[in-house]
Amino acid sequence: MFEQLVNTICNYVEVEPEDIHPESRFMEDLGFTSFDFMSMLGELEDEFEVEIDQARAANIRTVQEAADYLQELREEQ
């Protein structure tokens, strides 16, 4: 899950995969804009076939939090 998320992140910001860590913050560390983040969420919904709750997604700050949430959504299916 984490590796797939890293690959998707690299489609949105100019960061090398090896520079993305579980504690990396989307905005502060990886340079995401709000638009980038929301666009990525849409792609993740398609890629993982899940529906992301926008209110919950607004509280996601780190890559690990996103990976955990995606895993949780996958398990609910």
In angstroms, what CA-CA distances link 48 with 11, 14, 33, 52, 64?
16, 23, 22, 10, 16
- Band of the pLDDT at 77, cuts 50, 70, 90? confident
Contacts (Cβ under 8 Å, ≥6 apart) of 56: 69
The whole model's pTM is what? 0.92
- Band of the pLDDT at 74, cuts 50, 70, 90? very high
